[in-house]
Amino acid sequence: MKLSNLQRVTIVTETFAPEVNGVAHTLGHLVNGLRQRGVEVQVIRPRQQRKEQADSDTVLLPGLPIPGYNSMRFGLPVLGRIARSLREFRPQAVYVATEGPMGWAAVKAARAQGIRVISGFHTNFHQYIEHYRLGVLETVAYRYLRHFHNLTAATLVPTSVQQQELSAHGFNNVAVMSRGVDSQLFSPARRDQALRRQWGVREDDLVLLYVGRIAPEKNLSLALSSYRSMRQTDERVRLVLVGDGPSLNSIRQQYPDVICCGIKRGEDLARHYASGDIFLFPSLTDTFGNVVTEALASGLAVVSFDYAAGHEYIRHEMNGMLAPFADERAFTNNVFALADRPNLLNKVRAAARSHAETIGWNSIVNDFMQRLSGVQNEEARYESEQNITAPKRAAVQ
């Protein structure tokens, strides 16, 4: 396989570490991987705090709060400053991870300077709109996203299902770039009985765990209803939520027995994963769900709908449990099945860990580099030409 000759790359994003979300998590691994391979990386993003200081590799732009995401801001389309930053850094490629006004300005500036631009479809914002009572804008948002991404050389998505969906709706040059997991950080070895005692959980209690944003678009009502149903028949079942968001206060008020831990990071987050038993992923809107692979690596039995990361990595009753998309009764029944069948639970948890050990970030970063440099496109075009010309050569012989 041809190696990439990338030396400088610019990443444009509304969110980045230390913010806690799937986009920031993925970009952190990609940026670290590029730098480990000797690539200089410039990050252009909004200033999240008034007094925030940028390092030499970061360009901070003015921004405004994102409705429903008080801890995040979207960048303003300061085209002149973005264009100047690109001219000074001279990247060979620009990756635009988010589709807001700042991303639009970055695409325009890069195209004007003849720099290769590719984009990422990380978040189903057109679906999130419905959860914030702006459903009338969903069609408009989808049209905007299609126009935005079609201005770039390629759009990277995390799953083959989403590739097919976007391609069917007129998105051009959609390619799959999957996600990895750090199986050293997320591991069953981090299970912590002291943490479980802190939760008020006994050794033989069954902990249902959710990690992620506590918000309407995550379909947490299903996790709560599944927990409530199980609790009626088995008092040893507990529910632990890790994360923050606009729904957290109401959940605390309505479900005082639910254990709410707030946002966790790094090894502390890994301890919380490993100290659970069954992981609930009830979302119907995530493009992927990095929490699924982290839960698999932590040796949890994941219950998910058959889409996104669940569809990509889980095989039903082998290394996790899958319900048909949006079939909430089947989702809850899968949780009950794991609780009622200890042998199945143990088998699934062991297989989850084994499978996660095969999902690393190394090959994904290499793939990302090749897509940034256009190597993937060149190889695909070469293979296509070979397939077309081969029969002709055979006929001449």
Residue 382 pLDDT > 70: no
Length of the chain equals 397
Domain ranges of the chain: 8-180+361-388, 188-356
- H or E element that contains 37: none
Average pLDDT over residues 31-43: 97
Of the listed ranges 98-102, 185-189, 318-322, the least confidently predicted one is: 98-102
User: The tokens of 385 are what?
Assistant: 């030409």
Task: Determine what percent of the chain is predicted with pLDDT higher than 90.
Answer: 76
Distance from C-alpha of 380 to C-alpha of 124, rounded to nearest angstrom = 28
Can you give the pLDDT at residue 51?
67
Measured in whole angstroms, the distance separating CA 82 from the mean position of its chain's CA atoms is 26
Return the CATH number of the domain spanning residue range 8-180+361-388: 3.40.50.2000
Reported as a single tens digit per residue, the pLDDT across 341-359 is: 999 999 999 999 999 999 9
Angle between helices 328-340 and 220-233 (to 10 degrees): 40
Residue 124 pLDDT > 60: no
Question: pTM for the complete prediction?
Answer: 0.86
Can you give the pLDDT at residue 64?
84
Q: Residue 21: which region, alpha, beta or left (left: phi > 0; alpha: psi -120 to 50)?
A: beta
The identity of residue 349, as a single letter, is R
Phi then psi dihedrals of residue 215, to 5 deg: -150, 160
Average pLDDT over residues 371-382: 64
Per CATH, 8-180+361-388 and 188-356 having the same topology is answered yes
Distance from C-alpha of 243 to C-alpha of 88, rounded to nearest angstrom = 39
The identity of residue 120, as a single letter, is G
Q: Answer yes or no: are the C-beta atoms of 366 and 108 closer than 8 Å.
A: no
> Which residues make beta-bridge pairs with 278?
208, 301
Architecture of domain 188-356: 3-Layer(aba) Sandwich (3.40)
Reported as a single tens digit per residue, the pLDDT across 275-315 is: 999 999 999 988 899 999 999 999 999 999 999 999 999 99
Distance from C-alpha of 248 to C-alpha of 260, rounded to nearest angstrom = 8
Other residues' Cβ atoms within 10 Å of the Cβ of residue 233 = 10
